[in-house]
Amino acid sequence: MIRPLLVAALLPLLSAAATEARVVKVLPHRLDSQGRHALSPSLYERDAYQAELRAHPDRIRGLRIDVLWSLKERTSVPCVLRLELRGSKGADPVVIERPVSRGFLRRRWTKVLLDPAEFEKVGDVSAWRVSLRSGGEELASTASFLW
């Protein structure tokens, strides 16, 4: 009687361990005219400067999105990080794809910098979706609350 109950309790853990890829964290950062997202390396200072940039949109010159992703196994097919951004300037999402490689680490940060032309198309980002793709197949994805 206890064994079926134990298997039922452990089943979610086993299915989570079978996941090969994950998009762990997505951090969108507004950039000023000098390309800075913070004035010092402190996390508190970064958040304070991001709040200041949000309060003064005329100072924002770009956007950088930092994505932490993980991939358990190396693949022979190249992987692509795909960002879909909805902003204040258009109804259709802007799609940006960047090639990524796993390297020796299972987890890796990838920084996607939107140049001023791309940032001008999007405007202030209201929603985003990030996916890790390989060979046309989606391995993992995550999205903002408003997506």
Residue 1: inside a domain: no
The 10s digit of each residue's pLDDT in 65-83 is: 999 999 887 766 789 999 9
Residue 42: inside a domain: no
Residue 117: inside a domain: yes
% of the chain residues with pLDDT over 70: 83
Residue 13: inside a domain: no
Residue 16: inside a domain: no
pLDDT greater than 50 at residue 16: no
For 135, counting Cβ atoms within 10 Å of its Cβ (0-12 exposed, 13-18 middle, 19+ buried), the class is: exposed
Apex 112 CA angle, 96 and 61, nearest 5 = 95
Check residue 116 and give its pLDDT.
Answer: 80
According to DSSP, residue 60 is labeled: -
Check residue 25 and give its pLDDT.
Answer: 96
Residue 79: inside a domain: yes
Check residue 43 and give its pLDDT.
Answer: 94
Check residue 19 and give its pLDDT.
Answer: 47
Cα dihedral 116, 119, 121, 125, rounded to 10, equals -170
Check residue 10 and give its pLDDT.
Answer: 55
CATH number at residue 107: 2.60.40
d(CA 91, CA 5): 49
User: What domain range is 83 assigned to?
Assistant: 23-31+62-143
pLDDT greater than 90 at residue 102: no
pLDDT greater than 80 at residue 35: yes
Check residue 101 and give its pLDDT.
Answer: 81
How many domains are contained in the chain?
1
Please give the model's pTM, rounded to 2 decimal places.
0.79
Residue 90: inside a domain: yes
Check residue 110 and give its pLDDT.
Answer: 93
Check residue 44 and give its pLDDT.
Answer: 95
Residue 124: inside a domain: yes
The 10s digit of each residue's pLDDT in 105-138 is: 678 999 999 878 888 888 888 999 999 998 889 9
